[in-house]
């Protein structure tokens, strides 16, 4: 009896909060027919948005994987003053509102600041351009790779690496042939979360991009613009496309989880 | 190659890696924080208070705190229930629901806003029905809470699940053999063991809800004094070139978030440890959350 | 009788974990339940505690049937393999837990815990948390916690399984001394035959959910009631053969079996120290080649191979070993001085057969 009640309420909770809204959006997107949907998704503005989002995501993914790995290694394997401080800083983006994150970048790179003047004289446009959008997305996604790798690095320890060294492997070989393969599911997981967040990032990018049509308008910004312009079909169509990507991401996450569990066991 | 040389190259490599990590984190996280702190100091404490005390700002802050609080309570209740059901019960669709929990992490928040606006809006049957019942969801508090609930849904569930799974049956059995009945055992053994997990989920929910923007900007609109939350207010101030007002409200929200996180650290510190983890020279890095445990 | 188990059976789904086990435990006894993992010994222990509900059979504690009593009401102390300490409580609070549940007065709790802290040498650690203790200390806290409410029976499930060898030895001695001191009836489960031998007054050997033998360590060792016990406890040479004209001939070895019918296949068992070996080929009746010499610290083990390819193990102490000058690959003579027929299923004679002496005398052509 209790069991039924519990399971029933959980189903209801999920239905009202998750399943219902998702299904309804899917239905709504095709309200005006599949042709309208297709036209909206293939509009130049929409295509430009997808491309820009893809570019930013690719850059962010590479930078995050490189620096995320380095940071995780330093955090777990090295002991130095300020290490715990560094660790605390890494978690910060989780708790900072995206709008505030974007605003902080504006304050940092604004025309009157040292950094702003510096890049200004170099002729590099940071704010309302690609660099700031990448930085904003990097800020939001930085913890993912690091926080996936640190516990893994702690669990696997250094035994296997030391074994490889006794077998004559140099540092680079140890890293490539031992450390990286052992971390692979952490990478998959961290990378997938990074991609998800990068594609979906809105608040920070909105603030630093200036939301300039066909120039700094990512897919999410394009959705926002369409919504504000009362083009609900357009907004929903692009949104549904991103939703499909989300489901693909979710599938990868679930598979990675299962694989990781299998590897550990 | 002799031992001395290897040591040196090794040390150099370590130093290089450490500099890269510290430099990168500084550039990405520390400098922006310093920028907003600096901006806040420029204004001074008087300005700060003035800025957040304006009717529009204070009502935005109050609305945000209220909605985040309601969200946290609902999330804690249903999150706990969901975690228990997903861990302890076998039923058709369990795998499906469990996989769905991660969805809010994969869906762009803006899309979340669109979804909620669509199904609970005035054009859908559900929206009309709710409207007739006297409940307006869109451009109203319930919409804000729904949006916050959606994006924070995984936190409680995902931080409780591992704790519930690892909960040693043996500890409960030990309590039984010492004469404790199931009720006493639940309160004295089970609850204290899962409390750190629950608190982590609940506190992170609150912090995440405070900062939510993408979904709320769609669902709540931007009606000053009525449905304008803090993050939307900050956005408005930025758009209208008022960095000072944006700074004060941002700093206020940031301070609350940090305080909540510090409190969380204090409450979930392993028993018997006096120093906060980030002051200690601990081997274990401070980890507030691990994404995969939550998302 | 302190504890009596009658016809205990336990079924987990389709798995028969315990089938028809009966035994008695005397007041003040320290009894070891020994068996490989999955033999049902832990299930028996947990059934006595009330942590498992038996599928059949009765359990008596102090002459009272306790089947329908809950764990809480059986007044037993239970020590878990992985300590199961309450992680959120200090050492003091862990030990006091049961006393608080039983509503002892604070002053009495204080006194009882202090007593146990001293008894278990945990004095300085009372304010520590479990994660701040070593494995051995944790298990001592777990024992103290189970003893605090003065249980009528102490049950320990693989109590030393989770600690390293050195600490395990210390804890064994602890348990023996503790038992001598408190004289509380104790049952402990182990898969380590050496540990069972050393600690227990009596041993119950389990295999596949059945009770194989119950007896003192010496009885179980010297007179194994079943083939399983013989193989499980200590090393034993076991050969198979058939009875023919009152003799079992295995290679050149002959074992008289006057009371056994012909054509029955039997197993012959003998401990390694009943295999005498000499470098002098004339000393004993049988010949073989020395294959390996193992140094075991207090003794030596020799592995010899007969011309027919039978491999036998022999054991001798250092003094004896020094009388010879053994070299690997050298021909040796040997004799089996004692042997027994191991009871098997479907054996036509009662088990166990008494040990039989063999003539070890010199080789006479």
The tens digit of pLDDT for each residue in B131-164 reads 888 888 888 999 999 999 999 999 999 999 988 8
Q: Which of C187, C207, C230 is the last residue of a domain?
A: C230
Q: Is the dihedral of CA B279, B283, B285, B289 positive or negative?
A: negative
**CATH of region B36-270+283-294, choose from 1.10.3720.10, 3.30.465.10, 1.10.10.10, 1.20.120.140:** 1.10.3720.10
* Residue B58 pLDDT > 90: yes
Residues of A numbered 138-197 whose beta carbons fall under 8 angstroms of chain B's beta carbons: which are they?
A: 138-139, 142-144, 147-148, 150-151, 154, 171, 189-190, 193, 196-197
Nearest to A54 by CA among A253, A188, A238, A219: A219
Inter-chain CB proximity A106 and B30 less than 8 Å: no
Classify residue C204: in a domain, yes or no.
yes
Structural contact between residues C76 and C154, judged by C-beta atoms closer than 8 angstroms: yes
Taking contacts as CB-CB distances below 8 angstroms, the residues of chain B near A10 are: 78, 81-82, 85-86, 97
Q: Are residues C226 and C239 in the same domain?
A: no
Residue C364 lies in a domain: no
- CA angle C251/C255/C256 to nearest 5° reads 140
Q: Look at chain C and report how many structural domains it folds into.
A: 2
pLDDT of amino acid C354: 53
Q: What torsion do the CA atoms of B1, B2, B7, B9 make, to the nearest 10 degrees?
A: -20
Quote the domain boundaries for residue C72: 3-230
Nearest to A245 by CA among A38, A18, A54: A54
CB contact under 8 A, A104 and B212: no
Whether the pLDDT of residue C350 is over 70: the answer is no
ipTM: 0.91
* Segments making up each domain of chain B, as ranges: 36-270+283-294
Distance CA B159, CA B148 (A): 18
Looking at the structure, do residues C74 and C188 belong to the same domain, yes or no?
yes
Looking at the structure, do residues C302 and C170 belong to the same domain, yes or no? Answer: no
Please indicate, yes or no, whether residues C133 and C267 belong to a single structural domain of this protein.
Answer: no
Rounded CA separation A201/B244 (Å) = 25
The mean per-residue pLDDT over the stretch B3-15 comes to 70
DSSP letter string, B105-162:
HHS-HHHHHHHHHHHHSTTSHHHHHHHHTT---TTSHHHHHHHHHHHHHHHHHHHHHH
Domain spans in chain A, listed from the N-terminal domain onward: 35-264
Q: Inform me whether the pLDDT recorded for C135 exceeds 60.
A: yes
The whole-number pLDDT of residue C345 equals 59
CATH number for the domain harbouring residue C325: 2.40.50.140
CATH number of A35-264: 1.10.3720.10
Sheet with C202-207: strands ordered across: C76-79, C153-157, C185-190, C30-34, C202-207, C210-215
| pLDDT at residue C92 in the model | 95
Number of alpha carbons in the 13 Å side-chain half-sphere of residue A117:
3
CATH number at residue C75: 3.40.50.300
**Cβ–Cβ gap B270/C129 under 8 Å:** yes
Q: How many Cβ pairs within 8 Å bridge chains A and B?
A: 286
A58-98 pLDDT per residue, tens: 999 999 999 999 999 998 888 888 888 888 888 889 889 99
Confidence of residue C358 (pLDDT cuts 50, 70, 90): low
Distance from the B23 Cα atom to the nearest Cα atom in chain A, whole angstroms = 10
pLDDT score of C352: 44
Confidence check: pLDDT of C349 > 60:
no
Same domain for C242 and C171? no
Q: Are residues C164 and C261 in the same domain?
A: no
SS3 content of chain C, % helix, strand, coil (to 5): 30, 35, 40
Distance from CA of C72 to the nearest CA of B (A): 4
Report how far residue A244's alpha carbon sits from residue C359's, in angstroms, rounded to the nearest whole number. 87
Query: What's the average model confidence in pLDDT over B67-75?
Result: 97
Question: Residue C191 domain-assigned?
Answer: yes
Averaged pLDDT, A158-185:
83
The answer on pLDDT for C351 being more than 60 is no
- Residue in the structure block whose two tokens are 């050298």: C330
Q: Closest-CA residue in chain B for C77? A: B177
Domain endpoint, select from C211, C230, C249: C230
Asked if the structure places residue C363 within a domain, the reply is no
CB count, 10 Å around CB of B4?
Answer: 7
Could you tell me the pLDDT band of residue C359, with boundaries at 50, 70 and 90? low
Average pLDDT over residues A252-264: 77
Confidence of residue A235 (pLDDT cuts 50, 70, 90): very high
One domain for residues C183 and C308:
no
**Same domain for C77 and C210?**
yes
Query: Both C113 and C53 in a single domain?
Result: yes
Min CA distance, A107 vs chain B (Å)? 6
């Amino acid at each position: 009896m209790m069991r039924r009640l519990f399971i029933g309420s959980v189903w209801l909770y999920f239905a009202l909060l998750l399943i219902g809204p998702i299904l309804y959006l899917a239905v709504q997107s095709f309200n005006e027919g599949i042709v309208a949907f297709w036209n909206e998704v293939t509009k130049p503005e929409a295509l430009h948005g997808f491309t820009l989002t893809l570019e930013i995501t690719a850059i962010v993914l590479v930078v995050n994987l490189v620096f995320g790995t380095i940071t995780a290694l330093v955090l777990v394997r090295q002991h130095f003053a300020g290490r715990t401080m560094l660790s605390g800083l890494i978690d910060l983006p989780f708790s900072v509102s995206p709008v505030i994150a974007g605003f902080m970048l504006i304050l940092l790179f604004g025309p009157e600041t040292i950094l702003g003047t510096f890049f200004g004289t170099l002729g590099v446009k940071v704010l309302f351009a690609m660099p700031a959008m990448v930085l904003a997305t990097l800020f939001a996604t930085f913890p993912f790779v690091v926080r996936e790798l640190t516990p893994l690095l702690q669990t696997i320890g250094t035994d296997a690496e030391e074994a490889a060294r006794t077998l004559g492997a140099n540092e680079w070989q140890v890293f490539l042939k031992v450390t990286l393969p052992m971390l692979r599911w952490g990478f998959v997981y961290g990378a997938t979360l990074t991609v998800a967040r990068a594609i979906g990032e809105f608040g920070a990018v909105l603030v630093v991009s200036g939301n300039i049509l066909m120039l700094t308008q990512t897919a999410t910004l394009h959705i926002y613009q369409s919504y504000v312009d009362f083009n609900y079909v357009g907004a929903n169509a692009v949104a549904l496309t991103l939703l499909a990507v989300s489901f693909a991401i979710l599938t990868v996450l679930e598979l990675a989880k299962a694989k990781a569990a299998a590897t550990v066991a | 190659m002799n031992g001395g040389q290897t040591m040196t190259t090794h040390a150099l490599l370590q130093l290089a890696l450490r500099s890269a990590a510290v430099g990168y984190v500084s550039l990405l996280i520390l400098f922006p924080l310093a920028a907003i702190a600096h901006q806040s100091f420029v204004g001074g404490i008087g300005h700060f208070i003035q800025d957040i005390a304006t009717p529009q700002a204070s009502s935005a802050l109050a609305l945000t705190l209220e909605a985040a609080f309601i969200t946290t309570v609902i999330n804690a209740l249903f999150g706990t229930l969901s975690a228990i059901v997903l861990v302890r019960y076998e039923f058709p669709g369990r795998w499906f629901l469990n996989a769905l929990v991660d969805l809010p992490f994969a869906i762009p928040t803006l899309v979340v806003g669109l979804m909620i606006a669509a199904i609970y809006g005035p054009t859908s049957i559900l929206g009309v029905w709710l409207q007739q019942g006297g409940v307006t969801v869109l451009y109203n508090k319930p919409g804000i809470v729904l949006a916050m609930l959606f994006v924070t849904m995984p936190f409680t569930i995902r931080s409780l699940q591992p704790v519930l799974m690892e909960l040693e049956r043996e500890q409960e059995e030990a309590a039984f053999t010492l004469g404790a009945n199931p009720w006493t055992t639940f309160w004295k053994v089970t609850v204290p063991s899962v409390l750190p997990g629950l608190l982590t989920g609940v506190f992170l929910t609150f912090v995440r809800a405070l900062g939510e923007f993408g979904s709320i900007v769609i669902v709540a609109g931007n009606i000053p004094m009525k449905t304008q939350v803090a993050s939307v207010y900050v956005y408005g101030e930025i758009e209208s070139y008022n960095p000072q007002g944006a700074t004060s409200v941002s700093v206020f929200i940031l301070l609350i978030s940090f305080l909540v996180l510090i409190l969380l650290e204090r409450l979930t510190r392993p028993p018997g440890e006096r120093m906060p983890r980030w002051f200690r020279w601990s081997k274990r890095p401070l980890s507030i959350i691990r994404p995969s445990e939550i998302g | 009788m302190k504890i009596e188990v009658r016809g205990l059976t336990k079924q987990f789904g389709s798995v028969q974990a315990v089938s028809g086990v009966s035994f008695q435990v005397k007041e003040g006894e320290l009894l070891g339940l020994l068996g490989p993992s999955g033999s049902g010994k832990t299930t028996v222990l947990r059934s006595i505690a009330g942590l498992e509900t038996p599928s059949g059979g009765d359990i008596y504690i102090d002459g009272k049937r306790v089947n329908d009593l809950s764990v809480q009401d059986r007044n037993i102390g239970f020590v878990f393999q992985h300590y199961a300490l309450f992680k959120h409580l200090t050492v003091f609070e862990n030990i006091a837990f049961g006393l608080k549940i039983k509503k002892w007065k604070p002053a009495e709790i204080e006194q009882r815990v202090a007593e146990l802290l001293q008894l278990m040498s945990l004095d300085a650690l009372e304010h520590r948390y479990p994660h701040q203790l070593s494995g051995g200390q944790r298990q001592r806290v777990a024992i103290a916690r189970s003893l605090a409410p003065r249980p009528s029976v102490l049950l320990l499930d693989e109590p030393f399984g989770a600690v390293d060898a050195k600490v395990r030895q210390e804890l064994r001695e602890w348990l023996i001394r503790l038992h001598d001191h408190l004289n509380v009836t104790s049952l402990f489960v182990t898969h380590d035959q050496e540990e069972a031998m050393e600690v227990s007054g009596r041993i119950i050997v389990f295999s596949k959910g059945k009770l194989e033998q119950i007896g003192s360590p010496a009885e179980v060792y010297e007179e194994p009631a079943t083939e399983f016990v013989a193989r499980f406890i200590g090393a034993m040479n076991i050969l198979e053969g058939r009875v023919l004209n009152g003799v079992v001939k295995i290679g050149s070895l002959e074992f008289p079996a006057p009371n056994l019918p012909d054509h029955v296949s039997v197993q012959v068992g003998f401990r390694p120290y009943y295999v005498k070996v000499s470098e002098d080929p004339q000393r004993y009746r049988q010949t073989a080649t020395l294959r390996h010499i193992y140094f075991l610290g207090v003794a030596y083990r020799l592995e010899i191979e007969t011309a027919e390819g039978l491999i036998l193990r022999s054991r001798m102490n250092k003094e004896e070993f020094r009388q010879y000058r053994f070299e690997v690959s050298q021909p040796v003579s040997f004799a089996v001085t004692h042997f027994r027929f191991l009871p098997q299923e479907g054996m036509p004679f009662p088990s166990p057969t008494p040990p039989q002496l063999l003539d070890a005398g010199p080789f006479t052509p």
